[in-house]
């Protein structure tokens, strides 16, 4: 650690340390029970002192961490784990001397994929301030611009950032409008000779595309069951009106969707909807149950779902609807 720099959380033992948002110094690892929890993606986690104080008080009162820590399955050993999401919960658990924390293992093929997941989960958190969201967005724009200069396709960048290709296309348009010398469409750079040039002399190697499908369902225009949240959104759009919903907006920030639901003849009620592939992901993403009315999912597997949240399980709902369009 550099002279004069001191961790704001002095209870932790720093072996090397890494600097996160707002220059908070994080340790390389935290020991809980007999396990060392490594936190390699601290630089992707916004620091919010007020939020951390509330979180610590909540964990202190309950005596446990409730929301599972997301761990990198392929990096797990008998005595070590690698944290993808839940860094602050791990830090607080270590501070309070807890001997265990709940965990959930996710698979990631590369460090880039694990880092992108950490980034996505934190950007979508409702507790982030406007300033923090803006900071995270500027970081993504810089990464997108650099990746485009290197000749990476929009699909590759979208996978890298764990967002849609539409989002990346919007980012490239913003970059072009701000004077960035990356062409949104071709991925070329504007050189000193005032001509568009190939972004990289060594274009990215294209890997064979492999498409993964869900179970065959042959429901109207959807041949296979959803395997992710985007599939849930598409399927809900097909049946929303039959279920009594009218969609007003679909957005990035939580909740995903706002609309109206018919509650009687001539009577409609505002409804806030969050899309999840599995209902328990609502808890994993640390969404506020008071900010939503309905979870629309493919599979309902959250037994502790709060009573104020209605769950629409599409895999059961479509069995009650006609599979073809007259």
User: How open is the CA angle 294-299-303, to the nearest 5 degrees?
Assistant: 75
pLDDT of 175 above 90:
no
Residue 165: its pLDDT value, please? 72
Residue 125: its pLDDT value, please? 53
pLDDT of 226 above 90:
yes
Q: What is the pLDDT of residues 52-68, one digit of tens each?
A: 787 788 788 878 887 88
Of 8-17, 77-86, 172-181, the one with minimum mean pLDDT is 8-17
pLDDT of 210 above 90:
no
Residue 38: its pLDDT value, please? 94
The beta-strand segments (E) located in the chain are: 18-19, 25-26, 29-32, 35-38, 69-72, 80-85, 103-106, 189-190, 196-197, 216-219, 222-224, 245-250, 257-264, 267-278, 294-299, 310-313
pLDDT of 152 above 90:
no
> b/e for 215-231, b at 16 or more Cβ within 10 A?
eebebeebeebbeebeb
Average pLDDT over residues 304-310: 93
Peptide bond into 54 cis (omega under 30): no
SS3 275: strand
pLDDT of 184 above 60:
no
User: How open is the CA angle 287-135-233, to the nearest 5 degrees?
Assistant: 40
pLDDT of 160 above 60:
yes
Mean confidence (pLDDT) of the chain: 79
The beta-carbon contacts of 241-249 under 8 Å, at least 24 apart in sequence, are 242/321, 243/312, 243/317, 245/271, 245/273
Average pLDDT over residues 245-267: 90
Q: Are the beta carbons of 123 and 156 closer than 8 angstroms?
A: no
pLDDT of 112 above 70:
yes
Per-residue confidence band for 202, with pLDDT thresholds at 50, 70 and 90: very low
The model carries a pTM of 0.41
Give dist(CA 270, CA 259) in Å, integer: 6
Q: Which helix (H) or strand (E) holds 120?
A: helix 111-123
């Amino acid at each position: 650690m550099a002279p004069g720099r001191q961790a704001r959380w002095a209870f932790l033992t720093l072996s090397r340390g890494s600097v996160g948002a707002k220059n908070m110094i994080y340790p390389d690892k935290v020991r809980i029970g007999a396990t060392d929890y490594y936190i390699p993606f601290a630089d992707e986690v916004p620091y919010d002192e007020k939020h951390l104080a509330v979180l610590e008080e909540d964990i202190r009162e309950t005596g446990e961490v409730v929301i599972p820590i997301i761990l990198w399955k392929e990096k797990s050993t008998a005595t070590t784990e690698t944290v993808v999401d839940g860094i602050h919960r791990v830090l607080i658990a270590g501070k309070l001397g807890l001997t265990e924390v709940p965990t959930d293992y996710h698979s990631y093929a590369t460090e880039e994929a694990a880092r992108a997941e950490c980034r996505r989960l934190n950007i979508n958190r409702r507790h982030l301030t406007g300033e923090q969201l803006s900071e995270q967005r500027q970081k993504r724009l810089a990464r997108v611009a650099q990746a485009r200069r290197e000749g990476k396709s929009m699909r590759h960048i979208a996978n890298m950032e764990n967002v849609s290709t539409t989002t990346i296309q919007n980012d490239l348009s913003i970059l072009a409008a701000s004077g960035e010398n990356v062409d949104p469409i071709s991925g070329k750079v504007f050189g000193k000779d005032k001509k568009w040039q190939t972004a990289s002399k060594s274009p990215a190697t294209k890997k064979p595309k492999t498409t993964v499908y869900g179970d065959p369902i042959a429901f109207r225009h959807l041949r296979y069951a959803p395997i992710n949240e985007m599939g849930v959104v598409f399927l809900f759009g097909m049946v929303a009106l039959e279920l009594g919903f009218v969609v007003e907006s679909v957005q990035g920030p939580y909740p995903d969707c706002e609309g109206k639901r018919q509650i009687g003849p001539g009577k409609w009620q505002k409804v806030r909807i969050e899309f999840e592939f599995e209902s328990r992901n609502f808890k994993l993403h640390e969404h506020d149950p008071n900010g939503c009315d309905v979870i629309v999912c493919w599979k309902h597997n959250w037994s502790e779902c709060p009573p104020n949240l209605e769950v629409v399980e599409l895999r059961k709902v479509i069995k009650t609807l006609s599979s073809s369009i007259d």
